[in-house]
Chains A and B, each alone.
Chain A
Amino acid sequence: MSKRKSKETSSANEECISQVQRIFRERFCHQCPSGKLFGLELQYKHLLELLKRTTIHGESNSALIIGPRGSGKTMLLNHVLKELMEIKEVRENLLQVHLNGLLQTNDKIALKEITRQLQMENVVGDKVFGSFAENLSFLLEALKKGDRENSCPVLFILDEFDLFVHHKNQTLLYNLFDISQSAQTPVTIIGLTCRQDILELLEKRVKSRFSHRQIYLMNSFDFKQYLKIFKEQLYLPAEFSDKTFTQKWNKNVQSLSEDKTVQDVLRNHFHCSKDLRSLHMLLMLALSSITVSHPFMTGADLLEASKLCRMDSKANIVHGLSVLEICLIIAMKHLNDVYEGEPFNFQMVYNEFQKFIQRKAHSMYNFEKPVVMKAFEHLLQLELIKPVDGPSVRAQREYQLMKLLLDNSQIMDALQVYPNCPTDVKQWATSSLSWL
């Protein structure tokens, strides 16, 4: 009897764990719009007011949402749109056009996309007919014909707004802002960008037509609020099927947020980057170790995940180099020390290496010059050294000037953990050039 019961609970657990994984993966990887907003109430209200004014009262407007990467710009906008769509009047009348600077790389493509999304008459299926000039004049005509009372408001959302300012003559931006200033179809233009200096990139005529309304998202929460956010992100929603599991899970999360090691991990993470996207990556990594046999997250999981996130990648690469390549890097370090960072070439590095070999009769490292050249070229391929003035065909390979992309502390740290490092190589690295 008890055996069958335990089997039922374990299979229920598997289904339950799968559901838990699904919920959290959607929350952290896919940014589903039902997530919560943290610390953005003012901005939320501001944006909601703005959009209500366009959609219900027919005013034209423009605004820029500015904030660093991962601060929640797209999420904020999606939340506002979701709430707006609940109003019947808006749902039936509002037309939305979503553009992204990474996808529409010039005005021609952007225009085609606008006509496609607005389902205008020159679109059949997915194909847009007409040249750029024709499409533009058609669109502007259509938008000019309207007025406040009778036309449907149009909402233009321009993601990666700073990429649109690099288009030729900023034609698209000029025309959109122009329409928003004249008394025609009510149009609102919302731009999202991560550049703080966006206004300086706009041309004068475009800037004057922009309403200069800026909404800033600055990740302005402190560590206590960060802890609160951490807890709330990990809570299972109340609608989850398995109530007992939900209770246990949420209690576990509560105890985690009070655990000292977890707080240390989070504090380190907070000091590196405040934005929620990196927190999501940390939580996602910790959650991927949740299985049936390990159903609740522990502080150790978070510690592991944090270590994975903060690995020094260059140190990892240096760890895997061969001994000859490490010798070349030490030779370059000595050259940098003596000549204070001036660029070097292969011949100089080889010379330095020869001096090391001849000093104590290290015949073990007496390799032919082409073999040393092959090791040097491997370092070039891994981009640990880089040519100073781009690949030039005319100079001979041995004499092309390079610079080293590692600094001394990185090299010394890497040597400490290098497996089976020969002691003479280590000594050579630490020797200062006091004999000069």
Chain B
Amino acid sequence: MPNFEHPEYPEATLLHLESMVPCRESQVSSLLSVFGKRQHFSFPSIFIYGHTSSGKTYVIQTVLETLELPHLFVNCIECFTSRLLLEEILTQLQNLSSEKKHGSRVPCDTFNDFVRLFKQETITQDLQNQTVYIVLDKAEQLREMEANVLPGFLRLQEFTDRNVTVIFLSEIVWELFRPNTGCLEPFTLYFPDYSIGHLQKILSHYHPPEYSADFYAAYINILLGVFYTVCRDLKELRHLAALNFTKYCEPVVRGEASERDTRRLWKNIESHLKKAMQTVYLREISSSQWEKIQQDDGEPGHLKGLSAHAHVELPYYSKFLLIAAYLASYNPARTDKRFFLKHHGKIKKTNFLKKHEKTSNHLLGPKPFPLDRLLAILYSIVDNKVAPTANIFSQITSLVTLQLLTLVGHDDQLDGPKYKCTVSLDFIRAIARTVNFDIIKYLYDFL
């Protein structure tokens, strides 16, 4: 007995539909009741929102295809200008009507032409009696197109005087879409996020046939225990589940443990999953590299992630230049005297120690500094004498190319260029350690 009852569609189709959309039964039944019969009018526009990977695109596509309702599906990231979008809709509409004509692209510049051509296309065939559904995925991109596209689509039923419903799918709530002077409000439908029980049910669906469902369900349990507090995205979890399953099965394959020996399986997989959170989850390494590491069963210590490549080997003076730049960015200019002069005299302690936590420069970000200040600090921290040759200046430029420094202000400003240092504290500490320079002593925030 299917959960969905509809006078229009045969029971077998509805049962099949129900099996394809687990945990989304109530949303599908509201959709079906809103759609009504094939020839009935429905809302002119429907706005469906929900979290990432909450099944919006999948459910809509499945419903429309299984029930064989005439529909067009367009992704607004693919068709990012209004012209591409309108032409794509008209081309798909042409293909919808007769299977024989193969879509020659219909040129369409403006929304006015689109309405006219749409009216022409839908009058020529049997689409007249059925609701045509236009599905616009990633609808938040519509806000970036011309101002008349979004309100136009909301009212498409009125403009074309045909039985058409536009369905918008998005992650962002409707309030952030509404145009300034108002528009025809669509019917908003919410796709709730999957609860942990739902996630378990859906993920256990994908178990490989060699192992029992219970074994896989226990594995999913462990995986969710590690990742659920961080991420609830179904696609990410599926990816992680698929990648790490072979490692989980290793003890069973090697004969060290049976399928039910949960403790040993847990001990085997736990550190592996924690490492996965820092690498594959962050896309630091690719999934093929991850699988290779699992197969080698070697030391996962030297995983070279993407951010590891940022540690370049710099020449000696470049390191000092970078350290000087970091000090110039994160120390206020008035404190230079105290750090870098041999005899700096007395500085009132009270002014010095009154630091509000918020103005800690490490929270606000690097400040720009002029070139002269950089050179002044450089001369004071390098032991031997450094001449301001072209060598030094070209090293500064190469640091800018490596994006360890950025040029602030206009490119053509030849006298008095300003720079900013864009490396993190850990990076600069590593560099300072290689030249035996204690940078913490020189930082104002760590006084």
Q: Which residues of A contact B (CB under 8 A)?
A: 14, 17-18, 21-22, 25-26, 29-31, 68-69, 100-105, 109, 113, 126, 162-163, 194-195, 277-278, 281, 284-285, 288-289, 291-293, 311, 313-314, 316-317, 319-324, 339, 345, 347-348, 351, 364-365, 367-368, 370-371, 374-375, 378, 381-383, 394-396, 398-399, 419-420
Contact = CB atoms under 8 A, between A and B. Distances in A.
B112 A313 contact: no
Contact of A313 (B173, B196, B366, B408): B173
A431 to B, nearest CB: 18
B42 A29 contact: yes
Contacts of B181: 162, 194-195
A103 B40 contact: no
Nearest to A292: B7
Contacts of A103: 110-112, 115, 148, 152, 159
Q: What interface size band does chain B fall in?
A: 35 or more
13 contacts: A102-B148, A102-B159, A103-B115, A103-B152, A105-B111, A285-B34, A313-B173, A314-B173, A319-B192, A339-B358, A367-B230, A368-B277, A378-B52
Given A313-B175, A322-B231, 20 more contacts: A14-B7, A25-B42, A102-B111, A104-B112, A105-B110, A105-B148, A277-B185, A281-B43, A289-B33, A321-B232, A339-B358, A345-B365, A348-B358, A351-B363, A365-B229, A370-B307, A374-B281, A381-B171, A394-B408, A396-B365
- A30, A345, A365 — most chain B CB neighbours (10 Å): A30
Contacts of B364: 345, 347, 399
Interface in B168-193: 171-176, 181-185, 187-188, 190, 192-193
A30 B162 CA distance: 9
B37 interface: yes
Nearest to A405: B176
Nearest to B150: A102
B195 interface: yes
B36 interface: yes
Given A21-B36, A288-B33, A314-B173, A278 B365 contact: no
Contact of B54 (A291, A314, A320): A320
Contacts of A126: 116
A347 B182 contact: no
Contacts of B112: 103-105, 109, 113
Contact of B232 (A21, A30, A68, A322): A322
B5 interface: yes
B365 A102 contact: no
B282 interface: yes
B419 interface: no
B41 interface: yes
A102 B152 contact: yes
A321 B185 CA distance: 27
Contact of A319 (B40, B193, B284, B363): B193
A366 to B, nearest CB: 11
B59 to A, nearest CB: 16
B52 A322 contact: no
Nearest to B190: A316
Chain B interface mostly: loop
Given A319-B192, A322-B229, A399 B5 contact: no
Contacts of B366: 396, 399
Nearest to A113: B112
A305 to B, nearest CB: 11
Contacts of B185: 277-278, 281
Given A313-B190, A370-B282, A383 B365 contact: no
Interface string B29-53: 0100110110111111000011110
Nearest to B114: A103
A383 B176 contact: yes
A371 B229 CA distance: 11
B370 interface: no
Contacts of A345: 363-365
Interface in B243-301: 277-278, 281-282, 284
B401 to A, nearest CB: 15
Nearest to A68: B182
B174 A29 contact: no
Contacts of B228: 322-323
Contacts of B188: 311, 313
Contact of A382 (B172, B358, B422): B172
Nearest to A106: B110
Nearest to B193: A320
Contacts of A367: 230, 277
A312 to B, nearest CB: 9
A278 B37 CA distance: 23
Contacts of B146: 105
Nearest to B187: A281
Contacts of B148: 101-103, 105, 163
A421 B390 CA distance: 60
Contacts of A113: 112
A15 B337 CA distance: 91
A348 B40 contact: no
What are the nearest 7 A-B pairs in CB distance? A320-B193, A399-B365, A313-B173, A323-B229, A25-B41, A288-B33, A69-B182
Nearest to A348: B363
Contacts of B362: 347
A25 B112 CA distance: 27
A101 B179 CA distance: 14
B417 interface: no
Nearest to B358: A339
A317 B51 contact: yes
A378 B235 CA distance: 14
